[in-house]
Amino acid sequence: MSTLLFERSLPRFAAARVVSSLGSGRGVGIGPLRLVERDAPRLPAAGWVRVDPTLSGICGSDLATLDGRSSRYFEDIVSFPFVPGHEVVGTVASDAVAADGRALTAGDRVVLQPVLGCAARGIEPPCAACQGGHVGNCGRTAFGHIRPGLQTGFCADTGGGWSSAGLVAHESQLYPVPEDLSDEDAVTVEPVACAVHAVLGAPVAGGDVVAVLGAGTLGLLVTASLGHLAALGRCATPSALLVGARYGHQQKLARRLGATEVLPPDQLPRAVRRHSRSLSFGGDPGTTATLSDGADVVFDCVGSPESIAQALAMVRPRGTVALVGMPGRATLDLAPLWHREVRLAGAYAYGSEAGGSAHDAVSTFSLAFDVAAAHRTGQLVSATYPLSRFEDAVAHAGAAGRRGAVKIAFDTRKGPSR
Amino acid sequence: MSRRPGFVLEVDKSTPSTLFWNGEGFVLEALPEGSRVVYAPEPVKALEDPYGAIRHALLHPVGDRDPLPALLRPGMKLTICFDDVSLPLPPMASPDIRQMVIETVLDMAAEAGVDDVVLVAALALHRRMTEEELRHALGDRVYDAFAPHGLLTQHDAEDPDNLVHLGQTDQGEDVEINKRAATSDLLVYVNINLVSMDGGHKSVATGLASYRSLRHHHNPSTMRHSRSFMDQPSSELHSSNWRMGRLIADSGVEVFQIETTLNNDTFPTNFAFLQKREWEWSLRDRTTYAATSTALAKVPPRLSRQILHSIRSPHALTSVQAGEVEAVHALTTANVWTQQGVDVEGQTDILTMGLPYICPYNVNSIMNPILVACLGLGYFFNMYRGRPLVREGGVVIMRHPTRPEFHPGHHPSYIDFYEQVLTQTVDPTEMHKQFEESFATDPWYVHLYRTGHAYHGVHPFYMWYWCAHALAHVGRVIVVGGNPAAVRRLGFSPASSLDDALEIASDIVGPSPTLTHVHNPPILMADVH
Amino acid sequence: MAGSGLRRRIGAARFPLAAPTWPTTVERPEPERRVGLDYDHEWSRRYPVRLARAMVLDNVTRPVARLVAPATVRGLEHLGRLEGPVIFAANHASHLDTPLLLTTLPTGFRHRTVVAAASDYFFDRTWKSVLWSFALAAIPIERSKVNRKSADTAADLVEDGWNLVIFPEGGRSPDGWTQPFRGGAAYLARRTGRPVVPVYLHGTRHVLPKTPEWDGRAPGGSGTEDRRGGRLRRSPIAVLFGAPMVPDEGESARRFSDRVEAAVATLSREVASDWWQARRAVSAVAPVAGAETAHRGPDAAAWRRSWALDPPPSRARRPEWPD
- Whether A292 and A342 map to the same domain: the answer is yes
Distance (Å) from the alpha carbon of A268 to chain B's nearest alpha carbon = 10
Strand C138-141 relative to strand C113-118: parallel, antiparallel, unpaired?
Answer: parallel
pLDDT grade for A69, boundaries at 50, 70 and 90: confident
| Neighbours, chain B (3 or more CB pairs < 8 A) | A, C
Instruction: Confirm whether A143 is domain-assigned.
Output: yes
What pLDDT is attached to residue C144? Answer: 72
Identify the CATH number of the domain in which residue A314 sits.
3.40.50.720
Q: Chain B: residue nearest A275 by CA?
A: B438
Mutation for testing the B interface, residue in A274, A277, A293 having most B CBs under 10 Å: A274
Residues A219 and A289 in one domain: yes
- What is the rounded CA–CA span in Å between residue A297 and residue C109? 77
Q: Which long-range contacts (CB under 8 A, 24 or more apart) does C153-160 make?
A: C154/C114, C154/C116, C154/C188, C155/C188, C155/C191, C155/C192, C157/C114, C158/C85, C158/C87, C158/C188, C158/C192, C158/C194, C159/C85, C159/C192, C160/C85
Q: What is the pLDDT of residue C275?
A: 60
Which of the residues B406, B417, B420 would you substitute to probe the A interface, choosing the one with the greatest number of A C-beta atoms within 10 Å? B420
The answer to the question of residue A363 being in a domain is: no
The set of residues, in sequence order, having a beta carbon less than 8 Å from that of C115 and lying 6+ positions away, is C98, C102, C136, C137, C138, C139, C164, C165, C166
Q: How many domains does chain A have?
A: 2
Instruction: Spell out the domains of chain B, with CATH numbers in brackets.
Output: 7-42+339-528 (3.90.226.30), 50-262 (3.40.50.11440)
Same domain, A327 and A396: no
Cβ separation of A279 and B447 shorter than 8 Å? yes
* Phi (first) and psi of residue A6, to 5 degrees: -110, 115
Tell me if A263 and B416 make a contact (CB, 8 A cut-off): no
Q: What is the mean pLDDT of residues A234-258?
A: 96
Residues of B in contact with C231 (CB under 8 A): none
Q: Do residue A181 and residue A212 come from a single domain?
A: no
Superfamily of domain C36-207+233-250: Glycerol-3-phosphate (1)-acyltransferase (3.40.1130.10)
Asked if B415 has any chain A CB less than 8 Å from its own CB, the reply is yes
- Claim to verify: residue A60 and residue A136 sit in the same structural domain: yes
Asked if B444 has any chain A CB less than 8 Å from its own CB, the reply is: yes
Selected residues 35-54 of chain C with any CB under 8 Å from a CB in chain B = none
Q: Of B134, B309, B364, which has the smallest distance from its Cβ to C224's Cβ?
A: B134
Q: Do A278 and B444 touch (CB under 8 A)?
A: yes
CB contact (8 A) between residue B152 and residue C220: yes
**Shortest CB distance from B444 goes to which of A261, A267, A279?**
A279
With CB atoms and an 8 Å threshold, state whether B419 touches A279. no
Map chain A to HEC letters. Answer: CEEEEECCCHHHHHHHHHHHCCCCCHHHHCCCEEEEECCCCCCCCCCEEEEEEEEEECCHHHHHHHHCCCCHHHHHHCCCCECCCCEEEEEECCCEECCCCCEECCCCEEEECCECCHHHHCCCCCCHHHHCCCHHHCCCCCCCCCCCCCECCCCCCCCCCCECCCEEEEHHHEEECCCCCCHHHHHCHHHHHHHHHHHHHCCCCCCCEEEEECCCHHHHHHHHHHHHHHHHCCCCCCCEEEEECCCHHHHHHHHHCCCCEEECHHHHHHHHHHHCCCCEECCCCCCCCEECCCEEEEEECCCCHHHHHHHHHHEEEEEEEEECCCCCCCCCCCHHHHHCCCEEEECCCCCEECCCCCCCCEEHHHHHHHHHHHHCHHHHEEEEECHHHHHHHHHHHHCCCCCCCCEEEEECCCCCCC
CB contact under 8 A, B132 and C319: yes
B424 contact residues in A (CB cutoff 8 A): 261
pLDDT for C141:
87
- Kindly state whether C233 is in contact with chain B, defined as any CB-CB distance less than 8 angstroms: no
Report the alpha-carbon distance of residue C137 to residue C116 in Å, rounded. 9
Percent of chain C at pLDDT > 90 equals 17
Among B441, B442, B444, the residue to mutate for chain A (most A Cβ within 10 A): B444
Residues contacting B14, CB < 8 A, separation 6+: none
Query: Which helix (H) or strand (E) element contains residue B500?
Result: helix B498-509
Contact by Cβ (8 Å): A298, A285: no
Q: Are B141 and C307 within 8 A, CB to CB?
A: yes
Confidence category of residue C285, pLDDT binned at 50, 70, 90: very low
Would the pLDDT of C248 be above 90? no
In a domain, A367, yes or no: no
> Is there a single domain that holds both residue A177 and residue A241?
no
Residues facing B187 on adjacent strands? B79, B255
**Which residues are within 8 A (CB) of B50 and not within 5 positions of it... i.e. 6 or more apart?**
B97, B100, B316, B317, B320
pLDDT, tens digit (0-9, with 9 covering 90-100), for B1-11: 478 999 999 99
Whether residues A235 and A271 share a domain: the answer is yes
Contacts of C307 in chain B (CB under 8 A): 106, 110, 141, 145
Position C88 confidence tier, pLDDT thresholds 50, 70, 90: very high
Residue B415 has its nearest CB partner, among A261, A270, A277, at: A270
**A274 contact B CB<8A:** yes
The answer to whether residue A99 scores a pLDDT higher than 80 is yes
Distance CA C309, CA C175 (A): 9
Q: Measured between CA atoms, how close is B210 to chain A, in angstroms?
A: 21
The nearest alpha carbon in chain B to A280 belongs to B444
Strands (E), chain C: 71-74, 87-90, 113-118, 138-141, 163-166, 196-202, 237-241
Compute how many other C-beta atoms are within 10 angstroms of the C-beta atom of residue A40. Answer: 20
Angle, CA of B298, B299 and B300, to the nearest 5°:
120
Q: Do C223 and B106 touch (CB under 8 A)?
A: no
* Interval C56-78 mean pLDDT: 86
Whether C221 and chain B come into contact, CB under 8 Å, resolves to yes
Contacts of B451 in chain C (CB under 8 A): 221-222
pLDDT exceeds 80 at position A122: yes
* CA–CA min distance A342, chain B (Å): 22
Question: How many residue pairs from chains A and B have C-beta atoms closer than 8 A?
Answer: 31
What pLDDT was estimated at residue C288?
A: 47
List CB contacts (< 8 A) between C206 and chain B: none
Confidence of residue C3 (pLDDT cuts 50, 70, 90): low
The residues near A414 (Cβ < 8 Å, ≥ 6 apart) are: A386
What percent of chain A is predicted at pLDDT more than 70? 97
Distance between C207 CA and the closest CA of chain B, angstroms? 14
Chain A environment of B447 (Cβ under 8 Å)? 279
- A290 and A325 both lie in a single domain: yes
Of B129, B151, B408, the CB nearest to C223: B129
C23–B contact, CB cutoff 8 A: no
Q: Which domain holds residue A280?
A: 203-346
Average pLDDT over residues C136-142: 89
Could B310 and C227 be called an inter-chain contact, meaning their C-beta atoms sit closer than 8 Å? Answer: no
Q: Residue A145: phi, psi to the nearest 5? A: -90, 5
Nearest to C319 among B116, B310, B407 (CB): B310
Q: If you measure CA to CA, which chain B residue comes closest to A277?
A: B442
Contacts of B106 in chain C (CB under 8 A): 307
Residue B419 forms contact with A (CB below 8 Å): yes
On the question of pLDDT at C279 being above 80, the answer is no
Q: Do chains A and C touch (3 or more CB pairs under 8 A)?
A: no
CB distance from C24 to chain B under 8 Å?
A: no
Q: Which pLDDT score is estimated for C286?
A: 42
Residue C2 — very low, low, confident or very high, per pLDDT cuts 50/70/90? low
Instruction: Return all residues near C24 (Cβ < 8 A) that are at least 6 apart.
Output: none
Residue B178, CA atoms < 13 Å, CB-side half-sphere: 27
CATH number reported for the structural domain that contains residue A74 in this entry: 3.90.180.10
Which residues from C are below 8 Å from B452, CB to CB?
222
A210 and A180 both lie in a single domain: no
Q: Does A279 touch chain B (CB under 8 A)?
A: yes
What is the Cα A19 distance to its own chain's centre?
25
Q: Are B110 and C304 within 8 A, CB to CB?
A: yes
Cβ distance B140 to C311 less than 8 Å, yes or no, reads: yes
Q: ipTM strictly over 0.95?
A: no
Final residue in a domain of this structure, among A346, A366, A401: A346
Tens of each residue's pLDDT in chain B, 529 residues: 478 999 999 999 999 999 999 999 999 999 999 999 999 999 999 999 999 999 999 999 999 999 999 999 999 999 999 999 998 999 999 889 999 999 999 999 998 989 999 999 999 999 999 988 999 999 988 988 898 889 999 999 999 999 999 999 999 999 999 999 999 999 999 999 999 999 999 999 999 999 999 999 999 999 999 998 999 999 999 999 999 999 999 999 999 999 999 999 999 988 989 999 999 999 999 999 999 999 999 999 889 999 999 999 999 999 999 999 999 999 999 999 999 999 999 999 999 999 999 999 999 999 999 999 999 999 999 999 999 999 999 999 999 999 999 999 999 999 999 999 999 999 999 999 999 999 999 999 999 999 999 999 999 999 999 999 999 999 999 999 999 999 999 999 999 999 999 999 999 999 999 999 999 889 999 999 8
